[in-house]
Amino acid sequence: MAKPEADILTIEELSKYLRVSKSTLYKLVREGRIPSQKVGRHWRFHKDNIDRWLGQDKERRGHRGE
Protein backbone atom coordinates (compact mmCIF):
# COMPACT_ATOMS: atom_id res chain seq x y z
CA MET A 1 0.00 0.00 0.00
CA ALA A 2 1.34 3.43 -0.95
CA LYS A 3 2.10 5.99 1.72
CA PRO A 4 -0.57 8.73 1.90
CA GLU A 5 2.10 11.43 1.69
CA ALA A 6 3.20 9.98 -1.67
CA ASP A 7 -0.16 11.09 -3.03
CA ILE A 8 0.62 14.74 -2.29
CA LEU A 9 3.53 16.34 -4.12
CA THR A 10 5.59 19.41 -3.37
CA ILE A 11 6.57 21.81 -6.14
CA GLU A 12 10.00 20.16 -6.26
CA GLU A 13 8.54 16.65 -6.52
CA LEU A 14 6.05 17.73 -9.17
CA SER A 15 8.83 19.41 -11.14
CA LYS A 16 10.68 16.10 -11.26
CA TYR A 17 7.51 14.11 -11.97
CA LEU A 18 6.50 16.30 -14.92
CA ARG A 19 10.10 17.07 -15.96
CA VAL A 20 9.47 20.80 -16.09
CA SER A 21 11.10 23.64 -14.21
CA LYS A 22 9.71 24.96 -10.96
CA SER A 23 9.32 28.38 -12.58
CA THR A 24 7.02 26.84 -15.20
CA LEU A 25 4.94 25.26 -12.45
CA TYR A 26 4.68 28.55 -10.55
CA LYS A 27 3.48 30.20 -13.76
CA LEU A 28 0.83 27.50 -14.27
CA VAL A 29 -0.29 27.92 -10.65
CA ARG A 30 -0.54 31.72 -10.98
CA GLU A 31 -2.61 31.32 -14.15
CA GLY A 32 -4.86 28.72 -12.49
CA ARG A 33 -4.05 26.20 -15.20
CA ILE A 34 -2.89 23.36 -12.93
CA PRO A 35 -4.80 21.85 -9.99
CA SER A 36 -3.09 23.00 -6.81
CA GLN A 37 -3.66 23.89 -3.20
CA LYS A 38 -1.79 26.35 -1.05
CA VAL A 39 -0.93 25.23 2.47
CA GLY A 40 0.50 28.18 4.35
CA ARG A 41 3.17 29.55 2.04
CA HIS A 42 3.68 26.28 0.18
CA TRP A 43 1.95 24.78 -2.83
CA ARG A 44 0.84 21.15 -2.79
CA PHE A 45 -0.45 18.98 -5.60
CA HIS A 46 -2.58 15.83 -5.41
CA LYS A 47 -0.99 13.29 -7.73
CA ASP A 48 -4.38 11.92 -8.82
CA ASN A 49 -5.53 15.42 -9.82
CA ILE A 50 -2.31 15.99 -11.75
CA ASP A 51 -2.71 12.70 -13.60
CA ARG A 52 -6.30 13.60 -14.52
CA TRP A 53 -5.17 17.07 -15.61
CA LEU A 54 -2.53 15.51 -17.84
CA GLY A 55 -5.15 13.22 -19.38
CA GLN A 56 -7.48 16.15 -20.04
CA ASP A 57 -4.69 18.08 -21.73
CA LYS A 58 -3.93 15.08 -23.92
CA GLU A 59 -7.60 14.85 -24.91
CA ARG A 60 -7.73 18.56 -25.81
CA ARG A 61 -4.62 18.27 -27.97
CA GLY A 62 -6.13 15.22 -29.69
CA HIS A 63 -9.27 17.16 -30.54
CA ARG A 64 -7.19 19.93 -32.14
CA GLY A 65 -5.27 17.44 -34.22
CA GLU A 66 -1.88 18.04 -32.58
Rounded to two decimals, what is the model's pTM? Answer: 0.77
Residues 6+ apart with CB under 8 A from 11: 22, 25, 26, 42, 43, 45
Model pLDDT, residue 6: 73
- Domains of the chain, by residue range, sit at 4-63
What CATH number should be reported for the domain whose range is 4-63? 1.10.10
Q: What is the pLDDT of residues 2-47, one digit of tens each?
A: 566 679 999 999 999 999 999 999 999 999 999 999 999 999 999 9
The residues facing 46 across adjacent strands are: 8
